[in-house]
Amino acid sequence: MTKIAKIKTLDNAEEFVAILKDKDLLIYEDVQGSKVFVKWTGEKFIIKSKSIKNEPLNFIDLAVQKFYNQAYLYLHTLPDYITELMNTKWWFCFEYFPENDTQPAHIEYNRLPKNNLILTCIVKGNKYVYEYDELVEYSKLFNVEPLPVVFKGKLSPKQLEIIELYLNTKEADLKYIFDETNFAYFFYKILNPRIESSFLMEDEEFNDNLEKIVIKIDGKSKYSFEILNPLYKKMELTNNSEYVDTYSLILLRFLEYCQLIDVDKYKLGKITKEELYVEFICQLFNDYMDKNQKSIITWDFIIPSFFKEDKFKINLDLISNQETKNFIRSSEKIEYVFKCILGSFNKTKKKPVGVFNDITLENFNNFIDKLDIVIDRSLKINREYQLQKDDLKDFRDYFNLKYEVDAGGDMYPDVYGEFEEEGDKKKKKGKKLPDKKKGDDFGFDDEFDDFNPKKEEL
């Protein structure tokens, strides 16, 4: 029997169909993009990736890669007359498709959604709400596409009969009995034969690798079912020990160099913690490359193939240090080394990985603590200096004097997302705010998750 997910007490298709009978249903195609949660505070958007429980994206996360550029820029350029209509207590859940990327997860599509976003639900308090009319209304407000609903209403006796028969049919017999092995085509034709293609497909094509359709009763999340495609093929991700060893060795070499320098000699000028961190790493990296550029270029290691895509490249627009930019542009290996360092030296780690041992881990965490002290000290000094400048400006304004001022701009939110992916599958993933000294697993977990977003159950 085709697997029915979510309700463990269901033993057979008859019981499942009996539950659906005479119920108002919302049935939709499960779309695999990269999940993001968005909230308007009244002043700016907060964006979280993958789960509402994660910390929001921040300057570091945006600098490490270009992946979220499209969503970040689009949302922050919405006009006031739109944001004024948004409830500041709600989270809006989207499936996000980066620019020119029709396969951010495991399924490839033929087209991108409008403005790269699909509004799939609204989180109100602790409840995930799938009220379709409301989703349509807010998708129009955001000017994006709504949840891809295939059917809304009560199923007919004939529809229920065919679904029950399908669920009772063995995988090997699907084509023989129904003369159809395309899961999406089969359910679209049963539920809504007027639809001529799967969502995000074109030219009357039905997705031949749709993972599942989701059924909700009366829009209530506690009554939720999934009918899984028995022929679904999940994209395999490469995550071998060689990548983990290379990653940890990159960190170890940089750490060994940093043990011999005086971190107090570096002068920092930014006024947010994340920008200070990036500024600090750039200066450290420049000195490191002055002495190690040749050895990095001649070092024989493999860069994971997906890191070579443009969306995973360093966001040079957020790197202000020109010397660092020159190093990054000079070699793909150097860019990868910088990416590993930038995404790893802002937080302490709990467990060794790759070539790290307990002693190395302790040295690593001690160095992170040193960086944190320098950054906090600079943060305090620079903010006090900025306040003094602001007071001076106000004083000059009072006397209506002309004076030069620094160019102002919007600051990125003081939040952070994951970067590393853990090589050992048994290790748990975790993530904390970058300014906390203790907090997430030392591993390779962010790297592959961010670069190959996976679906998560709501």
- In order of 19, 43, 139, 230, the CA distances from 9 in angstroms are 12, 46, 35, 20
- As given in the structure block, the two tokens for residue 13 are 């298709």
For 222, how many CA atoms within 13 A lie in the half-sphere containing its CB? 2
Instruction: Give the chain's count of helices (H) and strands (E).
Output: 14, 12
**Digitized pLDDT (tens) for each residue of the chain, 458 residues in all:** 344 444 444 567 888 899 899 999 999 999 999 999 999 999 999 999 999 999 999 999 999 999 999 999 999 999 999 999 999 999 999 999 998 888 888 888 999 999 999 999 999 998 899 999 999 999 999 999 999 999 999 999 999 999 888 888 887 777 766 666 688 988 999 999 999 899 999 888 998 888 899 999 876 656 678 888 888 887 665 556 778 889 999 999 999 999 999 999 999 999 899 999 999 999 999 999 999 999 999 999 888 887 888 899 999 999 999 999 999 999 999 999 999 999 999 999 998 888 899 999 999 999 999 999 999 999 888 777 666 665 544 434 433 433 333 344 333 333 223 334 444 444 444 444 444 444 444 343 444 344 344 444 33
Q: Give the 3-state DSSP-derived string for 121-155, with helices as H, strands as E and coil as C.
A: EEEECCEEECCHHHHHHHHHHHCCEECCEEEEECC
Query: Cα(30)–Cα(200) distance, rounded to whole angstroms?
Result: 11
By three-state DSSP, how is residue 39 classified? strand
Task: Report the DSSP pairing between strands 212-217 and 220-228.
Answer: antiparallel
- As given in the structure block, the two tokens for residue 132 are 């379709």
The architecture (CATH level 2) of 4-228 comes to 2-Layer Sandwich (3.30)
Domain ranges of the chain: 4-228, 241-451
The pTM for the full model equals 0.77
* Torsion angle defined by CA atoms of residues 92, 97, 99 and 103, in that order, rounded to the nearest 10 degrees: 170
For 410, how many CA atoms within 13 A lie in the half-sphere containing its CB? 10
- Long-range contacts of the stretch 97-104 (C-beta < 8 A, 24+): 97/33, 97/34, 98/34, 98/66, 98/67, 98/68, 98/69, 98/70, 98/71, 98/311, 99/69, 99/70, 99/311, 101/311, 102/200, 103/235, 104/32, 104/33, 104/34, 104/453
Query: Cα(443)–Cα(350) distance, rounded to whole angstroms?
Result: 9
